Structure 1
Amino acid sequence: MKGNETADPLVDLHCEAHTYPDGTVGMHDVDFQVYPDEVVALIGGNGAGKSTLMEHLNATLVPDEGELVVDGTPINEDNKSHARKEVGFVFQDADTQLVAPTVLDDVLFGLQNYGVPADEAKERAREALATVDAGYLEDRIPHYLSGGEKRLVGLAGVLVLEPSVIVLDEPLAGLDPNRSRLVADRIEQIHEEGISVVLSTHDIDFAADVADRICVMSEGNVIDEGTPREVFYDLELLAEANLHPPSAVRVARDIGLDIETQPVTEAELVELLSEDESERTATSQVDGHRTD
């Protein structure tokens, strides 16, 4: 696991309960931390509490009972802005974050709210767009962008505030394979630059591919967590959360792959199958020489 769990957490959430106004229990008995240098994936069925948990990480929602600590600072009604600056949130519905007439104006909007001078704000906005390879969009009208482009602009809009953590709610939802790969690549790039990432996803293969830590949610609680290998080979845990393992895990089990290091990604599976084929070929060649 890449995350440094020996360090103090960047985000430390203790939520004994969160109930929505209609009486629906969104989350209960949750202890959740985000550490430096990690990607955390939340998985679980619809209504498991993933979005509720994530909206607590930057004080969009607050626990009925509990506490949120961000970068060592307990968050209350007077300093929610600290949580929202340190923890950038990219919503599933990108249109909810697009508020300005052009992409560049949209990305620098948050900086203006913090009183950053116009020239500096514009420069930082362009840098953020360049980070997600979306600089060519700066003069475009946000609402006319494709779904993938909107996600990238939303990502730039939180990056520009230089957060320590970025939270993404279903970042690949509704995207075609090419746009999904583009957004996934940008997420990995952001992590490589030192920003921790928390994401929710129904795409189990994506979670296996990008996450250092997997948190399984069910009925408003984190029922277990671990590395992708620990979680995705625990069939009882997946069944409890009504989830299926990634494609690589299913294939490895179906073909009875006899290995100590269990693959969780397609790349790992291909590598192991290639090694297995090479070993069989080498053995066959040796046996062939022996019979000559």
Structure 2
Amino acid sequence: MHDVEFSVGREEVVALVGGNGAGKSTLLEHLNGTLVPDEGELVVDGTPVTDGDLSALRTEVGFVFQDADTQLVAPTVLDDVMFGLQNAGVDPAEAKSRAREALATVEASHLEDRIPHYLSGGEKRLVGLAGVLVLDPSVVVLDEPFAGLDPERSRVVADRIRAVHERGISVVLSTHDLDVAADLADRVTVMADGNVVGDGTPAEVFYDDELLASANLHPPTPVRIARSTGIVSAAKPVTEAELVALLGEDSAAVSAGDDANSRVAESE
């Protein structure tokens, strides 16, 4: 990475996008001290982070790895979600209660007695997410949370990410799925060749053809449809819901125009 500046605000969802090798995972691994910068600094809640306080950082910033198997270490799901609390010396009864609450938050309570390595990819992501939520972080970082998942399981994971955000937790996620990024994110940061090359709202980023081309990205499906049908307006739809609403407004306007023309013809 080269002179990267990156931030996430309170209760904000930031999507980090870019092509393969852009530096997304490398940047994310700095956010909880898995990697440390050669130059510059990492600041969490106004406090610069040093090598001596990485444990405090990892409590504040929970990290869900792309390969969920790298963080699933216990014989059962419940044991795995309790693992961080047990390392911190939390009373076993309290640790179990908090682990069950975290599993309930991601709607994975039914998995608590399962063996983690026999879970599906989507289930592993949910257990990994519960394992960081149990530590009550202020920020959750997810590296490619939808990689390798079918559309239904991607939808489930996206819904659980929304639930985490609704609890007042900031979220940073990297993804190649720009449709999902448009739907989830308050802000989109674009990386290419180890640099942050753009940053803004989904509408600002996904209607910037030059920026997307510089990162080898294509606009989300709703953006392409809006442009191909010629209905792009100041609203700049980036999600399916926004596009449907805009199409509905156009249809209503056409219908109103037809009715008006009909009345004029009748009066003549």
- TM-score normalised per structure 2: 0.98
Relative contact order (alpha carbons < 8 A, sep ≥ 6): 1 or 2 greater?
Answer: 2
- Report runs of 4+ in structure 1 exceeding 6 Å deviation: none
The answer for the alignment partner of 1:214 in structure 2 is 188
Aligned length: 266
Match of 2:33 in 1: 59
Deviations 1:109-134 (A, max 9, x none): 00011110100000000000000000
State the AA in 2 paired with 1:187.
Answer: I
* Residues 250-269 of structure 1 aligned to structure 2 (within 5 Å): 250-269=224-243
Residue matched to 1:236: 210
What is the identity percentage for the equivalent residue pairs of Structure 1 and Structure 2?
71
- In structure 2, what is the equivalent of residue 287 of structure 1? 261
Shift of 1:258: 4.6
Counterpart residue type for residue 141 of structure 1: I
User: Structure 1: 5+ residue runs without aligned partners?
Assistant: 1-26
Cα shift at 1:249:
0.8
AA aligned to 1:112 is: Q
SS in 2 for 1:214: strand
Who is 1:125 aligned against? 99
- Between Structure 1 and Structure 2, the one with more helix by share is 2
Distance 1:154 1:213 in 2: 24
Which of residues 67, 91, 112 in structure 1 aligns to 2:86? 112
Partner Cα separation in structure 2 for residue 130 and residue 83 of structure 1: 25
Q: Which residue of 2 aligns with 1:145?
A: 119
Comparing 92-101 and 251-260, the one that deviates more: 251-260
Q: Deviations over 1:8-40 (max 9, x none)?
A: xxxxxxxxxxxxxxxxxxx11011111101000
Aligned to 1:175: 149
Distance 1:258 1:166, change over 3 A: closer
- 2:193 corresponds to which letter in structure 1? E
Cα displacement (A) at 1:67: 0.9
Shift of 1:275: 1.0
CA distance in 1, matches of 2:86, 2:232: 57
Distance 2:46 2:57 in 1: 11
- Tell me the residue number matched to 1:5: none
